[in-house]
Structure 1
Amino acid sequence: GKIKAVFHENIVSLSQIYNMKIKEVVVALERFAPLPLQESYDNAGLQIGLTEAEASGVLLCLDVTEAVIQEAVDKGCNLIVAHHPLLFRGLKQISDATYVERCVRAAILNHIAIYAAHTNLDNALGGVNFEIARRIGLQDIRFLVEQNGGGSGIVGTLTVPEEPIAFLRRVKSVFGINCLMHNAGPARPVRRVALCGGAGDFLLKAAAEAEADVFLTGEMGYHLYSDTKTVCGL
């Protein structure tokens, strides 16, 4: 079909999709990031809605919120593709007690399907982790833990080693973030970098075994973060 992209702040609206059903969009997403690549705790895939309807437009977002659903309504989009699953833990009721319940109700009432591409997109070849690596200039990239054509986390090398603080400042600049937490770090220059775009606690040992100088991750448990040197020597 013919697709016109309309950018709005941090959300991309793909409108004017002709003769394309929602299920065809889902098939394309899962061809790139197959659901079997998701971590065992995850709930990626179709969250809400029927897929036989023709796609009137697709709204991309990080998190599904009431404001995002209203934007989809305003833009005439009947499919929302989010990174983080709206339905991550089981619901025992659907009322208006929580924002998740309100989002579910709003999506159903407005005939909007919701799809999440989460850790399957992180773990896909060319997915989230590869994009992070590309932006910080890593070469010779490979998965930290391989699985079924994809993998968890990646490791690669910088063409020119950097001092740890200089590297972290560059990461902040590349991704436009104001705060980056780190431990004392290595005394040596950073050359080999391991990373995981989401919660990467479970990959810390693999990063050490890959001889990474730095491990970048979206989040980490407090005690493991505080005791990183004892745990793995990073």
Structure 2
Amino acid sequence: MKSISLRRKNLPKISDILNYLESFANPSYQEDWDNSGCQIVFDKICKGILLCMDVKDVDIDFALENDINLIISHHPFLFKAIKEINASSYKGKIIEKAIKNDISIYSSHTALDLSQDGVTKAMALRLGIKDYSGLSEGEKGYYGGYGRLEMPCSFDSLIDLVKAAFNPDFIKVYGRSKNEFKNIAWCGGAGSDFVLDAIQKSADAYITGDISYHFGQTAYENNLCLIDIGHFSSEFPVLEHLKKKIESKFELPIHISKNNLFLLNNF
């Protein structure tokens, strides 16, 4: 029993974990419409962490079953202000379980999108692109990235690379193909807003998610190969990136919620 007690004394507090996370994904980076940061927080000893894209009912249950008391999500659990907590509603049940069991919930959304060590870097590592620049500059940083593959490749080879890198539930390709792909742009999440940036940088292909029909038309008219791998798959790599970073600083169990439960099926 003494050894267990000693190990627990060496565990970090939740504030230690969050301070480290904010050292490279500070909430001050986030967009004005966002709600990155603390959602529900108890500053206790951190027993374990669950990383997820969105806080779901299955995630809070997993945390309870595995003695986890910190959930870190990419998308804010509380995106908009709530006027009531109804324990019979979907989110109300999650809030009730979290509060009753001292489970903290923290979200890092656009703070992690705009971080130099966040979503864009995680995608670059998966693509094997070491040197890159930002794709679209905003008031608080860059969304997405732009760089060159180590070796030019064919369309089929590029699709194989994308499949291996992101394991997407689906791939939709808009625009035009080319004999050779070298200059690649990418952005995690919903990247339609930056299609024109990819075109302006003469990208051969732009990899992102949530592409609409009319942006596919824009890609076709501007000789761009537009690759939609879905919102979830384009951002998921940042969870594994976060896991490695936190593990490099702290010794405690870290789990990743890997399922895209919002996609019921893909026919």
CA offset digits 1:65-120 (Å, max 9, x no partner): 12211221222222111122111123232214542222122111211110012222
CA offset digits 1:178-233 (Å, max 9, x no partner): 42011142334111111011111221121111111111112223432344334x55
Matching residue of 1:27: 19
Matching residue of 1:74: 65
User: One-letter code of the match for 1:114?
Assistant: I
Matching residue of 1:134: 125
Q: Report the number of matched residues.
A: 218
Matching residue of 1:198: 189
Q: Is residue 100 of structure 2 the alignment partner of residue 109 of structure 1?
A: yes
Residue of 199, 205, 209 corresponding to 2:200:
209
The structure in which a higher percent of residues are helix is 2
CA offset digits 1:20-49 (Å, max 9, x no partner): 222221110000211122234322111112
User: One-letter code of the match for 1:33?
Assistant: A
Is there any run of 5+ residues in structure 1 with no aligned partner, and where? 1-14
How far is the alpha carbon of 1:150 from its aligned partner? 4.4
Matching residue of 2:34: 42
Identify if the C-alpha distance between structure 1 residues 123 and 228 changes in structure 2 by more than 3 Å, giving closer, same or farther: same
Identify if the C-alpha distance between structure 1 residues 191 and 49 changes in structure 2 by more than 3 Å, giving closer, same or farther: same
CA distance in 1, matches of 2:164, 2:41: 39
Is there any run of 5+ residues in structure 2 with no aligned partner, and where? 1-6, 225-267
- SS of the residue aligned with 1:183? strand
Query: Percentage identity across aligned positions?
Result: 33
User: One-letter code of the match for 1:27?
Assistant: N
CA distance in 1, matches of 2:9, 2:35: 27
CA distance in 2, matches of 1:159, 1:71: 40
Which of structures 1 and 2 has the larger relative contact order (alpha carbons within 8 angstroms, sep 6+)? Answer: 2
Task: Give the structure-1-normalised TM-score.
Answer: 0.82
User: One-letter code of the match for 2:185?
Assistant: A
Matching residue of 2:79: 88
User: One-letter code of the match for 1:195?
Assistant: W
Note if contact 1:37-1:147 (Cα within 8 Å) is conserved in structure 2. no
CA distance in 1, matches of 2:8, 2:219: 49
How far is the alpha carbon of 1:132 from its aligned partner? 1.2
How far is the alpha carbon of 1:61 from its aligned partner? 2.0
Deviates more, 1:89-98 or 1:121-130: 89-98
User: One-letter code of the match for 1:126?
Assistant: D
Note if contact 2:149-2:182 (Cα within 8 Å) is conserved in structure 1. yes
CA distance in 1, matches of 2:9, 2:184: 40
Matching residue of 2:259: none
User: One-letter code of the match for 2:136?
Assistant: V
Identify if the C-alpha distance between structure 1 residues 133 and 19 changes in structure 2 by more than 3 Å, giving closer, same or farther: closer
Q: Is residue 58 of structure 2 the alignment partner of residue 63 of structure 1?
A: no
Which consecutive aligned stretches of 4+ in structure 1 deviate over 6 angstroms post-superposition?
A: none
Matching residue of 1:8: none
